[in-house]
Amino acid sequence: MKTLKQIIQEADNGKTAIGHFNISNIEGLWGIFNGAKELNVPVIIGASEGERKFFGTKQIVAVVKSLREEFDYPIFCNADHCHSYESFKEAVDAGFDAVIYDGAKLSLDENIKETKRCVEYARSVNPEIVVEGETGYIGDSSKLLDSIPDGVAMNDAMTKSEDAERFVKETGVDLFSPAVGNIHGILKDIANPRLDIERVKVIREKAGVPLVLHGGSGIADEDFVSAIKSGIAIVHINTEIRIAYKESAKESFANCGEEIAPYKIMEKSVLAIKDVVKKRLELFSK
């Protein structure tokens, strides 16, 4: 079985991307796993601090590992956006394959200092762990938005390649996620902003490590393809599967009549998530 590091390296070399999808529950996990398995591509299961709290931090690690072992399948888990050292440490200690420290709201100096501390801790526990850092605020939550959230890095505030270079060099992260026009969430009434593809290219060169695109939901297909060709090796999708889950669950609850077995009522949601995941993975692995 290849390690997550090897799989990321392969995606980076081949100019494809690995899909990263978040879960809150077991329906999400099966939907994502089944979608990836039908295409036979590796996949990363993400869990934010809120999602971890709901599912259980150690429990996510255990179920993802159980799929990896039972099916001999490259499925990995990532602790998405740890906003404190304590939260980061908890994820490392629980055995996550990858962990993100999110210091995007800090000054660059503070962000570097805290991320470096996280990298050192992670390596001391598990030399194989993948650590990601980020600069440039892109919003907090994977939800439907009325407008672009305050403080989101757009235009001149997007990640600068010289900052990316310094950040990676001084922190030692394995992966870097920039702000390049991407936002967490989907705008309700208008299309999400377009990505600055040229910026992706320059940041990838200067940073020297594979890049991660957060806030993939709502991004135009052609932007995905160009961004992946320019150095994005992992794409995060959350909002789109949350919408698929809610819409299908609403329909199931409206039509389930006397049925009370959750596993029957929620069956359609697993399929709805699988469809979104498959569609995205087909695009990312081109």
Interaction site with Zn ion (CB under 5 A): 214
Structure tokens at 72: 């001999």
Question: Is 90 among the annotated ligand-binding positions?
Answer: no
Query: Do 199 and 168 touch, CB atoms closer than 8 A?
Result: no
Amino acid letter for position 149: P
Task: Tell me whether residue 17 or residue 266 sits nearer to Zn ion (CB atom).
Answer: 17
Angle between helices 221-229 and 197-207 (to 10 degrees): 30
Least Cβ distance, residue 251 to Zn ion (angstroms): 28
What is Dmax (Cα atoms) for the chain? 61
The reply to whether 236 sits in an annotated binding site is: no
Instruction: Judge whether 184 is annotated as a binding position.
Output: yes
Consult the annotation and say whether 83 binds a ligand.
no
Q: Based on the residue annotation, tell me whether 174 is a catalytic residue of this protein.
A: no
Report the residue number, 195 or 266, with the smaller CB distance to Zn ion.
195
**Cβ 247 to Zn ion, closest distance in Å?**
22
CB nearer to Zn ion: give 81 or 201: 81
Q: Angle at CA 216, nearest 5°, toward 171 and 42?
A: 75
Minimum distance of Zn ion from residue 141's CB (angstroms): 10
Q: Give the residue with the Cβ less far from Zn ion, 214 or 268.
A: 214
Residue closest to Zn ion when measured from CB atoms: 214
The answer to whether the beta carbons of residues 227 and 200 sit under 8 Å apart is yes
For the chain, the first-to-last Cα distance in angstroms comes to: 23
> Taking a C-beta distance cutoff of 8 angstroms, is the pair 144, 137 a contact?
no
Residue 81 annotated as part of some ligand binding site: yes
CB of 134 to Zn ion, least distance (A): 8
Of 83, 65, 84, nearest to 75 (Cα)? 65
Question: Over 132-182, what HEC string results?
Answer: EEECCCCCCCCCEECCCCCCCCCHHHCCCHHHHHHHHHHHCCCEEECCCCC
Which residue is catalytic, options 12, 80, 97, 163?
Answer: 80
d(CA 182, CA 158): 10
Interatomic CA distance for residues 277 and 55, integer angstroms: 20
The distance of closest approach from Cβ of residue 212 to Zn ion in the complex, given in angstroms and rounded to an integer, is 8
Q: Between residues 196 and 248, which has the closer beta carbon with respect to Zn ion? A: 196
- The residues pairing with 131 across neighbouring beta strands, listed in sequence order, are 99
One-letter amino acid for residue 190 of the chain:
I
Q: Which residues belong to the annotated binding site?
A: 81, 102, 134, 184, 214
Among all residues, which ones are annotated catalytic?
80
Q: Which residues belong to the annotated binding site for Zn(2+)?
A: 81, 102, 134, 184, 214
